[in-house]
Structure 1
């Protein structure tokens, strides 16, 4: 699969997510959520942690969106934990992308990639970072998406974007048009640090992008919560750490 490219006079971007994989063995977010938290109408991790950048990470010339999304998540995980912005580079992202795609320009399967993130980790800013676990989000349940974002545990969404999404993006408009069919060539992965009353807000192609819930419902084809650790008061109040550990123990057998 050669990643699709979208261009206009000012923007060159690439797609690089392969078709969504399904695995019934995945940990489900619903299985580790405690009583649903009282969700604010709007929330954005970046508002609480000022100064986090939104680099392109090479996704203008390479179909590395899955690893670029991982980099954006890692920036926020470590800002919360280490209280500093990691100097993650485009080279870090491209090196991991080539490791996972065999050095080709092919795209990456999200599920395969996050499994590697959990088991082997990836090297960013001179250090290897892993996630503790990942959980599949019920895409039909908006509160699961919002709970994941509000818990600061990392929300990754995969899309088969319609061609109209690029027109909206280039015009600086939210992703809202839903009359066009999904384009399988436009497989794309984004990290979501926030949501508004309208819908999720993702980081993609060097900036923040709003979408509405109708757009999410039609074009999102996979959604995962990435859990680096269940070690803060907020995470402990939302996630059942014991159930996560029990799942991981069984996984090793």
Structure 2
């Protein structure tokens, strides 16, 4: 089976919220482990054929959030490819312009214009997002625990491209040419333990140690999704009240 990459060069914007600092003040304590990913039916979402990893991550986060907070929403591959096309100019019919995605461009589009999602209200709008230093393990944990997930970008070592689906990504198992970066990839972080992080890639719940993540990750974002992460009563699955946290993020 082919595995496609597709994360573009990291783009920085000084206006991007530093959500790690906000969560450290607002939600200082994190449990030793939290896993929203168990039992979520992740799919390939076209990432075996196209470099749509950023939008496969969108689908994985949507499934993770809604399964925990409301009722599972599972996007189709055609919806994922439509989102990829909308943001980047990719042509799903011909496969042209399959050039990957700059994550900051995706996130800004998701927040301002929304991304395609069947049903009512018909578009998915990200409420807010903020950057987290990939080496800030506690910040990553907080965002997974309290916001339901993190969109991360990594530089995939060559040796990981030949692993089986769902096989642990562990840099300590690689050597020589296998350590060379193959390219950028977007992944959805959806759970963690003291030892490492669970993430979705190529349709499978996968694990990597923290030492691996902090070495290969080059960007990470905590995402606030009012549309997907809140239940009927307006609270997250952890019981947090959303609007006060959002106000603090926007004031940061």
TM-score after normalising by structure 1: 0.83
Instruction: Note the residue ranges of structure 2 that are not aligned, 5 or more in a row.
Output: 91-96
For 2:57 and 2:88, locate their aligned partners in 1 and report how far apart those are by CA, in whole Å: 16
For 1:177 and 1:27, locate their aligned partners in 2 and report how far apart those are by CA, in whole Å: 30
Question: What CA deviation, in whole Å up to 9, does each residue of 1:29-64 have, x standing for no partner?
Answer: 1342234443222210134xxx42111000000110
Shift of 1:116: 0.5
SS in structure 1 of the partner of residue 221 of structure 2: strand
Preserved contact between residue 7 and residue 186 of structure 2 (Cα < 8 Å): yes
For 1:164 and 1:205, locate their aligned partners in 2 and report how far apart those are by CA, in whole Å: 16
Preserved contact between residue 89 and residue 125 of structure 1 (Cα < 8 Å): no
Question: What CA deviation, in whole Å up to 9, does each residue of 1:190-220 have, x standing for no partner?
Answer: 1011012221110110111101111111110
Task: Indicate the residue corresponding to 1:26 in structure 2.
Answer: 16
TM-score after normalising by structure 2: 0.83
For 2:21 and 2:247, locate their aligned partners in 1 and report how far apart those are by CA, in whole Å: 11
Please say if 1:16 is aligned against 2:9: no
Task: Indicate the residue corresponding to 1:132 in structure 2.
Answer: 127
Please say if 1:209 is aligned against 2:200: no
For 2:151 and 2:53, locate their aligned partners in 1 and report how far apart those are by CA, in whole Å: 11
Task: Indicate the residue corresponding to 2:142 in structure 1.
Answer: 147
For 1:133 and 1:226, locate their aligned partners in 2 and report how far apart those are by CA, in whole Å: 6
Aligned structure 1 segments of 4 or more residues deviating by more than 4 angstroms: 178-182
Preserved contact between residue 118 and residue 133 of structure 1 (Cα < 8 Å): yes
Preserved contact between residue 160 and residue 188 of structure 1 (Cα < 8 Å): yes
Task: Indicate the residue corresponding to 1:55 in structure 2.
Answer: 43
Structural RMSD (CA): 2.3
Preserved contact between residue 171 and residue 179 of structure 2 (Cα < 8 Å): no
- How many residues align? The count is 231
Please say if 1:45 is aligned against 2:36: yes
Shift of 1:241: 3.1
Shift of 1:87: 3.9
Preserved contact between residue 19 and residue 249 of structure 2 (Cα < 8 Å): no
Preserved contact between residue 156 and residue 225 of structure 1 (Cα < 8 Å): yes
